[in-house]
Chain A
Amino acid sequence: MAQLPFIAAIDAGIHQEMRRDPSVLYFGQNLATTENHPFVAAYGHERVRVTPISETAEIGIAIGAAMAGLRPVVELYMAEFMLVAMDQVLNEAPRFRYMSGGQVKVPLVLKAGFGFAAGWAGQHTGSLTALFMGVPGLKVVVPSTAADAKGLMATAIRDDNPVVFLHHYLLTLEHGEVPDGEHLVPFGKAEIRRAGGDVTIVATGWMVLRSLAAAEKLAAEGIQAEVIDPRTVAPLDLATILKSVAKTGRLVLVDQAPRHATVGGIIAGDVAEHGFSSLKAPILQVNARDATVPYSEPLEAYVIPDEERIIAAVRKVLKAGR
């Protein structure tokens, strides 16, 4: 175990797979421009390349390379940059296996940061996770700890399908214990970050940290919240969430996206359908307010869900119902 910042843990996951599998490629903008770049030094320019600012071609090239037997990892930096190439992400990569009747595999990883609520204003701060989640053929990964960042990246590279790997920018320098050797975290297996019997909170990315902080404050009042981090939203480990709701009877969904574009909304629908009899109160959601993320610091803080709003939602859900 080593203490690593989140961002270094992701790199460790890519290194782990590039060392063991010569078919793994790593490329993107402003990457590998010098010979002493750690990935160039280790694997050479055949596998590690800098690209121009051409997201459609970058992701399209990854798809073609994957169909031809390689395992590309595309460094996209920001999730919004995928919007430039949305056809390739949503309507090319996940389609080919199916449309070919299973003849081709498209194993690739689209690595992108998101949610940079640190004064990046309207176009670099989005939480787009739910946008990718309902596309058959696509997998979507959202790590919230350094260890998961390494292990989920490694699993994403080994997966035979296109994977969108979304890392929250405000976690970049969060340190955590990361296993040294080969480390893989399975897809579709939620992690209970904090156990509790009074209310279930589900959150992803940076919102996991805010939910845990809120849960600690609530514990001081004697309220025990269970905080679940799905870690991958496609596939989604609904069973762990339903099991927790069966225990607590109350569910608060925390999501950094605006209300109608959340992973939480999708989970709410699933729990309402499959876990209704467990619920003692209506499901509550804590989301970004319905606005473009503003630049000014107090306004940004007002729009993004914070501990106080999570705590308020928990108190409300505990008072409501039967």
Chain B
Amino acid sequence: MSVQPPNAERQIWIFTHMLRVREFEERVKRTFTEHPGVIRGHTHLADGAEASIVGALSHFRGGDAALATYRCHGYPLVLGSDPKAMMAEIYGRADGLCKGLGGSMHLTDVKRGFLGTSGIVGAGIPHAAGAAWAAQIRHKGEIVFCFFGDGASKQGAFHETLNIASLWKLPVIFVMENNGYNVVTTTAQEDANAANGEPLALKAKAYAMPGVTVDGADPLAVHATVGAAVERARAGDGPTLVESKVYRLSAHGNIIAPPGVPLHYPEHEAITVFGKREEYEAALRGDPVPRFRAALVKSGVLSGAKAGELAAQVAKEMDAAVSFAVKSPFPKLESALENVYA
């Protein structure tokens, strides 16, 4: 089996969604300075991971499910969630995707197959396996996408779940977005494989499932690699661990300054903690969004003018999300006591 590369139209679809994720996150980031105090708590951005997110979810079909972590803004955008409702959720408003009860770390859109996001590192991995059990016994070839970071692969939940998923041949794709950092700890400081120069995908070997490493900044490479895992899962042959190497272009999260207002995003930890400005600047030069745009223009899939039009369109869409969310009212107080129990 080999995965068909996406045609020109699909490549433009991938690029458009990468842009949408980037522009959405840019506006979340800007909110801290343009509308201080509007976003509370801790917020985690997906900038830098767009190619990985969209490349993987380009295989998503109706009936599939996806689950992710607190760094969860990218996936629902690709699955069709309304950026207005997403931004309103991040602003804690009544029109939010989750009625203002979840916020940035817990975006959920069940109608679009985005089942839930745990804010506890690694905890969502078994949830994806459970959803995959449900898919397995529906016998419709439906699968589950499970997104998490490199840090989660040090949690027991990861190891316990990969063992069971492989044992039961569950239709799930474990997409580990390895961004090289667990907050301010480098992968080599906390991972025995990384410290010994091995890929993190090697962990799959312990659970008798395929483990592959892919350049997560290249959406076509991600499409091909995840595509093979998707075919395997839909065929009933079980899970795959995909290590997608990405570089997050923002810090782990916004500055938290209790009891005041979170004001802004600091520079990346490579600079602020490790003093490795060149590492970060190299990552910026490899930024997946302009990189894919250049590739599409070079291959003739997209003209420069068309790319500009798309960018303007997406910017307008995301500006509208901010205006909508800022104007949305706060939820009624009594709604805090609704939805505690089903």
Contact B164 A54 (CB under 8 A): yes
Identify the interface centre among B102, B109, B128, B160: most chain A CB within 10 Å of its CB.
Answer: B160
A92–B127 touching, CB < 8 Å: yes
Question: Distance (Å) between the CB of A68 and the closest chain B CB?
Answer: 4
Q: Report Cα–Cα, A148/B5, bound state, in Å.
A: 59
A105's closest neighbor in chain B, by CB? B342
Closest CB in chain B relative to A36 CB, distance in Å: 21
* Cβ-defined contact, A56 with B127, below 8 A: no
Contact A137 B126 (CB under 8 A): no
- Taking Cβ atoms with an 8 Å cutoff, the residues of B that contact A are 65, 67, 96-102, 106, 108-111, 115-116, 118, 120, 123-137, 156-157, 160-161, 163-164, 167-168, 338-342
- Write 6 A-B pairs (CB below 8 A) sorted by A numbering: A54-B163, A57-B129, A59-B126, A68-B134, A70-B134, A101-B100
User: Contact mask A50-76 → B, CB, 8 Å, 1/0?
Assistant: 011010111111111111111010000
Q: A57 and B127: CB pair below 8 A?
A: no
Q: Mark A66-89, 1 if CB is under 8 A from B, else 0.
A: 111110100000000000000110
CB atoms of A60 and B108 under 8 A apart: no
By beta carbon, the residue of chain A nearest B117 is A99
The 3 lowest CB-CB distance pairs between A and B, nearest first, are A64-B130, A60-B126, A101-B98
Complex CA gap A161/B128 in Å reads 19
A277 at the interface (CB under 8 A from B): no
Closest to B130 in A: A64
Return the chain A residue nearest B101 by Cβ.
A101
Q: Digit string of A137-158 for contact with B (CB within 8 Å is 1, else 0)? A: 1010000000000000000000
Contacts A65-B131, A67-B115; is A137 near B340 (CB within 8 Å)? yes
How far is A62 from B109 in the complex, measured between Cα atoms in Å?
A: 20
Q: What is the chain B residue whose CB lies nearest that of A46?
A: B137
Give the CA-CA distance A175 to B211 in the complex, in Å. 53
Interchain nearest-CB distance for A157 vs B (Å): 14
The verdict on A96 contacting chain B, using a C-beta distance below 8 Å, is: yes
Contacts of A181 in B (CB 8 A): none
Docked pose: A102 CA to B341 CA in angstroms: 9
Known contacts A52-B163, A61-B129, A92-B118; 17 further A-B pairs (Cβ under 8 A)? A51-B164, A52-B160, A54-B161, A57-B163, A59-B126, A61-B161, A63-B126, A65-B134, A70-B134, A88-B123, A99-B98, A101-B96, A101-B101, A104-B115, A105-B342, A106-B342, A107-B342
**In-complex Cβ contact of B67 among A64, A66, A72, A160 (8 A):** A64
Contact of A65 among B100, B111, B123, B130 (CB under 8 A): B130
Instruction: Please name all residues of chain A whose beta carbon is closer than 8 Å to the beta carbon of B125 when the two chains form the complex.
Output: 60
In the complex, chain A residues whose CB is within 8 Å of the CB of B157: 56-57, 60
* Docked-complex contact B339 and A65, CB < 8 angstroms: no
Min CB gap A187→B, angstroms: 10
Partner of B342, one of A68, A69, A161: A161
CB distance from B199 to the nearest CB of A (A): 24
Contact A47 B130 (CB under 8 A): no
Task: Kindly list chain A residues whose C-beta atoms are within 8 Å of the C-beta of B132.
Answer: 64
Known interface pairs A100-B102, A100-B108, A103-B109; A64-B115 also in contact (CB < 8 Å): yes
Closest residue on chain A to residue B128 by CB atoms: A64
Which chain B residue lies CB-closest to A62? B130
A91 close to chain B: CB less than 8 A: yes
**How far, in whole Å, are A66 and B65 apart by their CA atoms in the complex?**
13
CB atoms of B135 and A68 under 8 A apart: yes
Task: Report whether B130 and A101 are in contact in the complex, using a CB–CB cutoff of 8 Å.
Answer: no
Residue A38 at the B interface, CB < 8 A? no
Residues of chain A whose beta carbon lies under 8 Å from any beta carbon of chain B:
25, 46-47, 49, 51-52, 54, 56-70, 72, 87-88, 91-92, 96-107, 136-137, 139, 160-161
CB distance from B113 to the nearest CB of A (A): 10
Cα A53 to Cα B53 with chains together (Å): 33
Q: Which of A72, A99, A100, A136 is in CB contact (< 8 Å) with B130?
A: A72
Docked-complex contact A104 and B127, CB < 8 angstroms: no
Residues of A within 8 A of B131 (CB): 64-65, 67-68
B160–A57 CB distance below 8 A: yes
The minimal Cβ–Cβ distance linking A102 to chain B, given in whole angstroms, is 4
A68 and B63 CA atoms in complex are apart in Å by 10
Q: How far is A61 from B98 in the complex, measured between Cα atoms in Å?
A: 23
| B116:A57 contact, CB within 8 angstroms | no
- Residues of chain A within 8 A (CB-CB) of B98 are 99-101, 103
Residue contact A98 to B340, C-beta cutoff 8 Å = yes
How far apart are the CA atoms of A47 and B136 in the complex, in Å?
11
Q: How far is the CA of A25 from the CA of B341 in the complex (A)?
A: 21
- Separation of A160 and B120 alpha carbons in the complex (Å): 23
B residues less than 8 Å from A64 (CB atoms): 67, 115, 126-134
Q: How far is the CA of A52 from the CA of B167 in the complex (A)?
A: 10
Instruction: Identify A98's interface contact among B101, B110, B118, B160, CB under 8 A.
Output: B101
Question: Which residue on chain A has the smallest CB distance to residue B120?
Answer: A87
A33 to B101, CA, bound (A): 42
Nearest CB in chain A to that of B137: its residue: A46
Q: In the complex, which residues of chain A have a beta carbon less than 8 angstroms from the beta carbon of B108?
A: 96, 99-101, 103-104
Q: Is the CB of A104 within 8 A of B116?
A: yes
On whether the beta carbons of B116 and A96 are closer than 8 Å, the reply is: yes
Q: Report chain B residues within 8 Å CB of A106.
A: 342
The interface centre, meaning the residue of A87, A98, A101 with most chain B CB atoms within 10 A of its CB, is A101
- Contacting pair B160 A101 (CB below 8 A): no
- Report Cα–Cα, A47/B135, bound state, in Å: 12
Q: Provide the bound-state CA to CA distance between A103 and B115, in Å.
A: 9
A99 to B89 alpha-carbon distance, docked (Å): 11
* CA A107 to CA B98, docked complex, whole Å: 19
Contacts of A102 in B (CB 8 A): 99, 338-339, 342
Q: Contact between B127 and A63 (Cβ–Cβ < 8 Å)?
A: yes
A52 to B160 Cα, complex, angstroms: 8
Across-interface contacts of B120 in A (CB, < 8 A) = 87, 91-92
Q: Are A98 and B339 in contact (CB under 8 A)?
A: yes
Q: Contact check, B137 vs A67: say whether CB atoms are below 8 A apart.
A: no
Instruction: Given A65-B133, A102-B99, check contact A87 B123 (CB 8 Å).
Output: yes
Q: A76 → chain B, closest Cβ, in Å?
A: 14
